[in-house]
Copies of this chain bind each other. A is one copy, B any other.
């Protein structure tokens, strides 16, 4: 390793600045500069760069990446020529200038995900994004082989978002030491009980840790998956102490992390998982942390905070969407919409218990229950995140370490994702206080979820509010959400005149339904 460092250092000193000539819109432009290795570069050296095109000027922070290498990263949001110039308190890093060209994005590059239509999301290029996330808290702190298996699993899974912690997690089912630590280890001792005690040099980040994290975020990007990066979490129990570094170190860590990651287009900021369980940080400090993240991010990545049992002030302007833990919200009809309507921003029920077989009550949803939770959420115009906690012998628990998925819900979640992506737009309940089954994209498209109760027949009936005018015609598909079948019915329904709260078919036609739970109806305008 020492030999490699020397070679690297030699190579670096032969140029003063390295950057690409071309970069796709919303891709990462990176300049690498050679600079001092003496002293403490993390403390002594300040580095930033100003990027400008004809109309815009963006200042971004740089960071020390170890071995005398300094980097500044930038995500251009407009095509065309860009210039940059570095600013540093170190002569060798200051005033370095260059130009590059921002070119049209490639076909799988739709830009960062943004809020759209108040409650929903779009990629920056306008393509719809419906979050179907999963939870992989500590997947990047596992042995190389396991991480590769996780990526293969994700390549074949329906998920387009992953909730993942920056810091390693120390918790039941995940107590292994990670390959990398975020800080340079000064020493490791053992306490009276033989438990390891770590002493960190909190003035020195470990670049390899962050480089590895970045590689994994890029791996997710290649799979079209957004990385919902959890900046703080409470799962430490005094093992490493990363949950209790003190406010000054926390803010340094935020500056370093955002300097490294803000240019990654698939990054979302999740200030914390279960912020209220991080007992070392008072509630008032989360406002400071949140502002630190948002102020350090020139691109306005999506940003949220996730609760344990007490909600945070999700209406604060820094949060782009709401990330809620509360399984009961998507357990039954009429609930998911209640919280959504409060915040006027997208609602993701990011933790609703997990499909699995753990003893703990948050860890043993059946596949049916997990699937039902997704349908309850989607029908209400909200989104739901998956997680799997089967303690399957010889393997790992997906929710913690990653590995393979064995649950029955992911296939059904994929089926729902396809249905939603085929819709003309995002869903909203048509009549949210009175009909908790019927959502719509517009007056030509309804998706109605019937839940676990079975009913022998369904009479054509929709909420009148915003609904189709008399004379318009519809056909119905019966969807079995569990068996993943779609059965188009031959009946053509014609909307009758009405003054009622609901609209009906002219002939009051009903259709027979199979005696199966978890059915849905897709009701689409029919043009002969």
Chain A residues within CB distance 8 Å of chain B: 309-311, 313-315, 326-329, 331-332, 334-335, 338-339, 341-342, 361, 432-434, 436, 501
Tell me whether B315 and A313 are in contact (CB under 8 A). Answer: yes
Chain B hits for A313, CB < 8 A? 315
Q: Smallest CB-CB separation from A433: which chain B residue?
A: B328
Tell me whether A434 and B328 are in contact (CB under 8 A). Answer: yes
| Closest-CB distance, A352 to chain B (whole angstroms) | 10
Chain B hits for A315, CB < 8 A? 313, 315
Enumerate 29 A-B pairs (CB-CB under 8 Å) in ascending A order.
Answer: A309-B433, A310-B341, A311-B341, A311-B342, A313-B315, A314-B342, A315-B315, A326-B338, A326-B433, A327-B433, A328-B334, A328-B338, A328-B432, A328-B433, A328-B434, A328-B436, A329-B338, A331-B334, A332-B334, A334-B335, A335-B335, A335-B338, A338-B338, A338-B339, A339-B339, A339-B342, A342-B342, A361-B434, A361-B501
**Which are the 3 A-B pairs with shortest beta-carbon distances?**
A328-B433, A338-B338, A328-B334
Chain B hits for A436, CB < 8 A? 328
Chain B hits for A328, CB < 8 A? 334, 338, 432-434, 436
Chain B hits for A434, CB < 8 A? 328, 361
Chain B hits for A309, CB < 8 A? 433
Q: Which of A310, A327, A361 has the most CB of B within 10 A?
A: A361
The copy count of this chain in the complex is 2
Chain B hits for A335, CB < 8 A? 334-335, 338
CA distance A335 to B334 in the complex (A): 7
Chain B hits for A342, CB < 8 A? 311, 314, 339, 342
CA distance A326 to B335 in the complex (A): 12
CA distance A335 to B329 in the complex (A): 8
CA distance A326 to B340 in the complex (A): 14
Chain B hits for A329, CB < 8 A? 338
Chain B hits for A432, CB < 8 A? 328
Q: Which of A327, A334, A433 has the most CB of B within 10 A?
A: A433
| Closest-CB distance, A136 to chain B (whole angstroms) | 23
Q: Smallest CB-CB separation from A310: which chain B residue?
A: B341
| Closest-CB distance, A377 to chain B (whole angstroms) | 13
CA distance A328 to B434 in the complex (A): 7
Q: Smallest CB-CB separation from A432: which chain B residue?
A: B328
CA distance A432 to B327 in the complex (A): 11
Chain B hits for A314, CB < 8 A? 342
| Closest-CB distance, A172 to chain B (whole angstroms) | 15
| Closest-CB distance, A502 to chain B (whole angstroms) | 10
| Closest-CB distance, A518 to chain B (whole angstroms) | 20
Q: Smallest CB-CB separation from A314: which chain B residue?
A: B342
| Closest-CB distance, A305 to chain B (whole angstroms) | 14
| Closest-CB distance, A160 to chain B (whole angstroms) | 27
| Closest-CB distance, A468 to chain B (whole angstroms) | 21
CA distance A334 to B326 in the complex (A): 11
Q: Smallest CB-CB separation from A313: which chain B residue?
A: B315
| Closest-CB distance, A428 to chain B (whole angstroms) | 13
- Contacts A328-B433, A334-B335 given; 8 further ones with Cβ under 8 A? A311-B341, A314-B342, A315-B315, A329-B338, A332-B332, A339-B339, A339-B342, A361-B501
Q: Which of A314, A326, A335 has the most CB of B within 10 A?
A: A335
CA distance A331 to B331 in the complex (A): 16
Chain B hits for A327, CB < 8 A? 433
Chain B hits for A331, CB < 8 A? 334
Chain B hits for A338, CB < 8 A? 326, 328-329, 335, 338-339
| Closest-CB distance, A130 to chain B (whole angstroms) | 23
CA distance A342 to B436 in the complex (A): 21
| Closest-CB distance, A72 to chain B (whole angstroms) | 39
CA distance A336 to B58 in the complex (A): 46
Chain B hits for A311, CB < 8 A? 341-342
CA distance A331 to B326 in the complex (A): 20
CA distance A436 to B332 in the complex (A): 12
Chain B hits for A501, CB < 8 A? 361
| Closest-CB distance, A450 to chain B (whole angstroms) | 17
